[in-house]
C-alpha cells in the first residue's frame, strides 16, 4: 500500500510517498528558513502563504521522483495536530481535496507521534518485538520537549515535558541573543565544537543542581527559561571575542543537553524501558547524540537515534505512521479538524506490536 504524506505544521512544506510504512519511495522538503530568518522565529501567516505557494510543486516533484501518479496512491495522510493553525490548514485542505477527488482514505496524523515514528522508519524489526517495550521516547524539537512512554499494547503517555521553552526554542533564542542567525540549533552545534563547555556554569533547570530540590511531580519535566535568561545576562553590555563566544555557546549547549540526557536516563530506569529513542530537530545535535550514546551504554539500554533526515520536519514519518493506522482499518472523515494542542494522553500508538483497534 502506497501512502502520500503531507506535512505543513510549521515552516517546512513536505511530501513523501512510503510503501507499507517503511519503504520510502520519495521524500521532498521545501524549507522556509530563509523567509523567517529575519524575524528569529516562524510567523504563522507568512508560513501559510508560503505553504500555499509550495504545496503543489512539492507533491508533484515527489510523485515524479517515485515515477508515480496520484492514481497509484492508496491513501493520503496529513499532519493535523499539533502545529500552527494557518500552516496546518493549507496541508489539510489539500489532503482532503485529494482524498475526495480520488476517493481514497484520509488519515490525520499527530506531528509529535510522527516524530517518534521517524526514529523507527528504518527499524521495523524493533517495533515488531514486544520485548523492546515499553519504549522511552525523548522528543526534542523547536516546539516540544517531552519524555513519552509507549507500552507494547500501544498505550502512550507523556510523563514529563517542558514547563516553558522547548529545548530547540532555547537554542534558537540564545542564537538570537548572540546575533548568530536562525535557526540557532545547527549554528550552536557547529560553534560549540570550538569552545570549552566547562567555561561557564549555566543553570540546569529542574535538576536540583542549584540546591533547590525538584518536586516529585516535576522529576521528568524540563525548564529552559532560566538558562536563556542567564545567557542574556552573560553578554549584557559586552561584546565577547570569538573564543569567548565559542566558550559561551559550548557551555550553554552543554547545560541544555546535559539535562536532556540525565532526565532521559532517569526515566529509562524508572519506567524500566529496554529501548530509548530520540527524535525531533534537536536530535540532530552532535553533542546530544554522543552523550546519549555514552549514557545508554552505561545503563545498558538500546539507543535508537532518529537519522538526521528524519529528525527535522519531513513527510516520510507522516506517510509511514499512517500505514499503521490503515492496517488497523483506522482513517478519518473529510470534516477532520486541525488542532494546535497536544494532549498528555497520546491514545493508542498503532505501531506497537500488541496495539488493539
Ligand atoms: O523538528 P523540527 O524540524 O521542527 C519542530 O517541530 O519544531 O525542529 C526544529 C528545531 C529548531 O529549534 C532547530 O534549532 C533545532 O531543531 N535543530 C538543532 C539542530 N538541528 C536542528 N538543534 C541542535 N542541534 C542541531 N544540529
Ligand atoms: Zn517537528
Look over the chain and give the mean of its residue pLDDT values, rounded to a whole number. 95
Q: Residue 79's pLDDT is what?
A: 98
Measured from the CA of 286, which atom of ligand 1 is nearest? 26
Domains 2-117+311-327 and 129-306 in one fold: yes
- Does the domain made of 2-117+311-327 have the CATH classification 3.30.420.40? yes
3-state secondary structure 233-268: HHCCCCCCCHHHHHHHHHHHHHHHHHHHHHHHHHHH
Q: From atom 24 of ligand 1, which residue's Cα is the shortest distance away? A: 285
**Cα 63 to averaged position of ligand 2 atoms, centre (Å):** 23
pLDDT tens sequence across 155-175: 999 999 999 999 999 999 999
Residue among 282, 287, 306 whose CB has most ligand 1 atoms within 8 A, to mutate: 282
Grid cell of 181 as nine digits: 542567525
Nearest ligand to the C-alpha atom of residue 280: 1
Residue among 116, 142, 167, 173 whose CB has most ligand 1 atoms within 8 A, to mutate: 142
Q: From atom 21 of ligand 1, which residue's Cα is the shortest distance away? A: 281
Q: Residue 357's pLDDT is what?
A: 61
Q: Residue 211's pLDDT is what?
A: 76
Domain spans, the chain: 2-117+311-327, 129-306
Cβ neighbour number for residue 190 with a 10 Å cutoff: 12
**Cα 31 to averaged position of ligand 1 atoms, centre (Å):** 13
CATH superfamily of 129-306: ATPase, nucleotide binding domain (3.30.420.40)
**Cα 247 to averaged position of ligand 1 atoms, centre (Å):** 21
Q: Residue 353's pLDDT is what?
A: 95
- Residue spans of beta strands (DSSP E) within 192-334: 275-279, 302-305
DSSP 70-127: GGG--EEEEEEESS-HHHHHHHHHHHHHHHHHHT--EEEEEHHHHHHHHTTTT-HHHH
Q: Residue 354's pLDDT is what?
A: 94
Q: Residue 272's pLDDT is what?
A: 98
Q: Residue 3's pLDDT is what?
A: 98
**Mean pLDDT, 10 residues at a time, over the chain (357 residues)?**
97 96 97 81 90 97 98 98 96 98 98 96 94 97 95 96 97 95 95 98 90 91 96 92 97 98 98 98 98 98 97 97 97 97 91 87
Nearest ligand to the C-alpha atom of residue 279: 1
Cβ-based neighbours of 356, under 8 Å, separated by 6 or more:
153, 154, 348
**Cα 185 to averaged position of ligand 1 atoms, centre (Å):** 6
Backbone angles phi, psi at 195, to 5 degrees: -110, 170
Q: Residue 41's pLDDT is what?
A: 76
Give the SS3 label for residue 162: strand
**Cα 253 to averaged position of ligand 1 atoms, centre (Å):** 13
Measured from the CA of 9, which atom of ligand 1 is nearest? 6
Residue length, the chain?
357
Nearest ligand to the C-alpha atom of residue 290: 1
Q: From atom 8 of ligand 1, which residue's Cα is the shortest distance away? A: 281
Ligand 1 site residues (CB inside 6 A) read 10, 141-143, 168, 171-172, 183-186, 189, 280-282, 284-285, 312-313
Amino acid at each position: 500500500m502506497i501512502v502520500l504524506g503531507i506535512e505543513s505544521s510549521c515552516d517546512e512544506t513536505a511530501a513523501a510517498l512510503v510503501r507499507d510504512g517503511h519503504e520510502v519511495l520519495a521524500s521532498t522538503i521545501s524549507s522556509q528558513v530563509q523567509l523567517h530568518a529575519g524575524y528569529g522565529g516562524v510567523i504563522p501567516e507568512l508560513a501559510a502563504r508560503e505553504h500555499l505557494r509550495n504545496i503543489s510543486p512539492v507533491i508533484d516533484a515527489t510523485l515524479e521522483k517515485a515515477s508515480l501518479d496520484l492514481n497509484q496512491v492508496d491513501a493520503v495522510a496529513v499532519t493535523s495536530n499539533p502545529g500552527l493553525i494557518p500552516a496546518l490548514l493549507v496541508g489539510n485542505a489539500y489532503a482532503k481535496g485529494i482524498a475526495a477527488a480520488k476517493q481514497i482514505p484520509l488519515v490525520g496524523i499527530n506531528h509529535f507521534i510522527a516524530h517518534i515514528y521517524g526514529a523507527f522508519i528504518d527499524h521495523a524489526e524493533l517495533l515488531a518485538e514486544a520485548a523492546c517495550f515499553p519504549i522511552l521516547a525523548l522528543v526534542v524539537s523547536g516546539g516540544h520537549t517531552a519524555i513519552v512512554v509507549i507500552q507494547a499494547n500501544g498505550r502512550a503517555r507523556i510523563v514529563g515535558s517542558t514547563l516553558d521553552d522547548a529545548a530547540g526554542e532555547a537554542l534558537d533564542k540564545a542564537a538570537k541573543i548572540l546575533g548568530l542567525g536562525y535557526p540557532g540549533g545547527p549554528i550552536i552545534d557547529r560553534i560549540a565544537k570550538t569552545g570549552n563547555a566547562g567555561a561557564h556554569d549555566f543553570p540546569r533547570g529542574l535538576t536540583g543542581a542549584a540546591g533547590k530540590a525538584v518536586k516529585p511531580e516535576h522529576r521528568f519535566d524540563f525548564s529552559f527559561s532560566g538558562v536563556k535568561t542567564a545567557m542574556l545576562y552573560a553578554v549584557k553590555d559586552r561584546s565577547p571575542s570569538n573564543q569567548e563566544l565559542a566558550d559561551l555557546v559550548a557551555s550553554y549547549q552543554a547545560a541544555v543537553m546535559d539535562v536532556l540526557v540525565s532526565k532521559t536516563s532517569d526515566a529509562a530506569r524508572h519506567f524500566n524501558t529496554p529501548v530509548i529513542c530520540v527524535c525531533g530537530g534537536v536530535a540532530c545535535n552532535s553533542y546530544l547524540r554522543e552523550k546519549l550514546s555514552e549514557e545508554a551504554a552505561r545503563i545498558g539500554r538500546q539507543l535508537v537515534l532518529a537519522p538526521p533526515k528524519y529528525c527535522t520536519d519531513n513527510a516520510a514519518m507522516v506517510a509511514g505512521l499512517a500505514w499503521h493506522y490503515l492496517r488497523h482499518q483506522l482513517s478519518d472523515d473529510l470534516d477532520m479538524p486541525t488542532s494546535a494542542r497536544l494532549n498528555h494522553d497520546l491514545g493508542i500508538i498503532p505501531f506497537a506490536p500488541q496495539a488493539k483497534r
